[in-house]
Amino acid sequence: MFSKPSLITRIVIGKTIGLIIGLIGFFTLPHIYPEASHMLRWGILLWYITFGAIIGIFGVFTYHPILKSPMPWWFRAPFIGAWLNFVLVFFAHKEMTALLTVMFGENGLMQSPFWFVLEGALVGLLIGFLATKFAGEGKEAVGR
């Protein structure tokens, strides 16, 4: 079950990294943004666990059938991570704007909540790299 290549191992690696990042957000958010609700804290924790699982699952898609081109891990994982965090910002725009305003000031350089899209790409790159390195990718991961 945890041999290489393995879809289950990819998902476990993704969820574990997501859990670590989610816990960092869960515990540091009250110190950075004291007005953060418990719902926002729990949402960030659960979001990144799901984020990691989705990137792990998408490791089986190494070829785009419509564009007829390969999708290497270094393209696929950051793209999915950026997209997922774009969706997060889309639905929690007000909270993310308030968080970044508290962190960087009202006229700060990083006031836009869309910086979380870049953060999602970087976290996706990390998860994609580790999941591919330790669990493989492609059809071989689901062949069992």
pLDDT tens-place string over residues 8-28: 899 999 999 999 999 999 999
Q: CA gyration radius for the chain? A: 16
Read off the pLDDT of each residue in 93-113 and give the average, rounded to a whole number.
85
- Tokens representing residue 66 in the block: 């419509």
The C-alpha atoms of residue 142 and residue 137 are separated, in whole angstroms, by 9
Residue 35: phi and psi, rounded to 5, are -80, 0
Cβ–Cβ < 8 Å for 33, 92 = no
pLDDT tens-digit series, residues 88-99: 999 989 888 888
- Count of CB atoms situated within 10 Å of the CB of 52: 30
pTM value?
0.88
The winner for highest mean pLDDT among 14-23, 29-38, 58-67, 134-143 is 14-23
* Distances from the Cα of 80 to the Cα of 77, 102, 110, 144, angstroms: 5, 28, 22, 25
